[in-house]
Amino acid sequence: MALPATDPTLTRNVLVVDADPAFVETAEQLLGDHKVHKARNVSDAQRRLVEESIELAIIGPTYAHAAGVSESAMLLDLQPDLPMVLVSDALNTEVLRAAIRAGYRDVVDVPLTPQKVAEMLSIIEQVHRREEEERAGRHKIGKVVTIMSPKGGAGKTMTTANVALTLAMWGDPSRVVVLDADLQFGDICISLQVDPQHTIVDVARDIDKLDEALLDSLLATHSSGMRVLSAPLEPSLADEVSTQVVVKTIGMLKRMFDYVIIDTAPFLDEPVLSILERSDVVLLVVDMDLPSVKNAKLALDTLRLIKFPFEKIKLVLNRVNSKARLDVNELERSLGLEVQAAISSDKLVPRAVNEGEPVVSLYPRSKVARDLRSVAALVLDEDEKIPEEEVKSRRWFR
């Protein structure tokens, strides 16, 4: 979305804080017709915040050090969504990180220029626009869908790729993102034939200055327009991606997209549990063999222990028509969950994987594609449901 043109005639209330009168004066000159409120120190500034409706705070070089940053950030206790910009005479990463962590919107270096001041003022508009969107309910928070199975080879990645692409084609592909959280052996990019320039390792390396624009630049784009955040390209790099990084990434992605579809590693370890806690829907993929059922049962026992909300879990059976027939009723009884969808076993699936295109788009008329669309439908709320007739008639990209 493009920023609305800046309206230069709008008078803004700007607070300028610094012990050096020369800095404050320069800022005041550059702010031209805007209403400038001056403060020599933080307690002065606090008083101004209470008395005036300040829309932006420019904090001067007096505060451009670790202690100054935390002192000035106390202004955010009074007005948490106040956009604050630090002007620093010693722009180093230490100050930068401290400021961003404390809640500053931006850090710029001296000297102030008309261009820098104009950029600061545009933050006010961004904030107002966001508030307006939230009021209008347009800024909808996306749905987080996690595909899990405590057993490798159960069909998680296959399900992730097909569900994500189905949701993308039912709606707006650019509003769907796939996060490959199988940090050691993630292969979603291979199944989707996406060649990532960046991975979640880059997200981890930039975590302190991560914002939506930076995160967006680290996403790859699938041929449909759907976005993908790749797993590390080598297992050894997985260590660089902490659970906090994954959690922060999910939090940001759900503000940027309608659907965040997450592929996971075949464990129920700390990272996967943290992802599950942040999920709206969990697709538990169970392959039709005894070890898979046994592991699913153990995983569900653990989730029951930690009081995970079971209504979020949708049980999906994979390879239902394969030779190893298990009794579905018995399976449901043993897992304590009803089967919500079933995927047939079909050689078109590995064939599609090798073609680098999910089966729902390569063979949209196959039975297995229809099965996978009903798995995707589990993710939708009642009012979002799409009838199968319409689904069939929709054109798929090639």
Ligand X SMILES: Nc1ncnc2c1ncn2[C@@H]1O[C@H](COP(=O)(O)OP(=O)(O)O)[C@@H](O)[C@H]1O
Residues that bind Mg ion (CB under 5 A): 156-157
Cβ proximity to ligand X: between 337 and 359 the closer is: 359
Paired tokens of 162: 């097909």
Segment 305-324, which members bind ligand X (CB under 6 A)? 318-319
Q: By CB under 6 A, is residue 158 in contact with ligand X?
A: yes
CB distance 186 to 232 below 8 Å = yes
The single-letter code of the amino acid at 246 is V
Cβ proximity to ligand X: between 26 and 264 the closer is: 264
Q: How many whole angstroms from its chain centre is CA 168? A: 16
CB of residue 359 vs Mg ion: minimum separation in angstroms? 15
Tell me the residue ranges of DSSP E strands in 129-254: 143-148, 176-181, 220-221, 227-229
Q: Which of 16, 45, 181, 353 binds ligand X (CB under 6 A)?
A: 353
Q: By CB under 6 A, is residue 153 in contact with ligand X?
A: yes
Cβ proximity to Mg ion: between 184 and 321 the closer is: 184
Cβ proximity to Mg ion: between 156 and 222 the closer is: 156
Q: By CB under 6 A, is residue 374 in contact with ligand X?
A: no
The item of ligand X, Mg ion, none sharing an interface with residue 32, based on CB under 5 to 8 Å by kind, is none
Paired tokens of 6: 């800046």
Q: Which of 13, 46, 274, 345 binds ligand X (CB under 6 A)?
A: 345
Question: Which DSSP helix (H) or strand (E) runs through 135?
Answer: helix 114-135
Cβ proximity to ligand X: between 60 and 155 the closer is: 155
- Judged by CB under 6 A, the stretch of 120-128, 216-224, 342-350, 378-386 that binds ligand X is 342-350
Q: Which of 303, 258, 312, 302 is nearest to 281 (CA)?
A: 312
What residues have CB less than 8 Å from 340, skipping those under 6 apart? 314, 315, 316, 378
CB distance 54 to 78 below 8 Å = no
CB of residue 300 vs ligand X: minimum separation in angstroms? 17
Distance between CA 267 and CA 154 in Å, rounded? 12
What pairing do the DSSP bridges indicate for beta strands 339-343 and 281-287? unpaired
CB distance 36 to 27 below 8 Å = yes
Count of residues near ligand X by CB under 6 A: 16
CB of residue 24 vs Mg ion: minimum separation in angstroms? 57
Residues that bind ligand X (CB under 6 A): 149, 152-158, 318-319, 343, 345-346, 349-350, 353
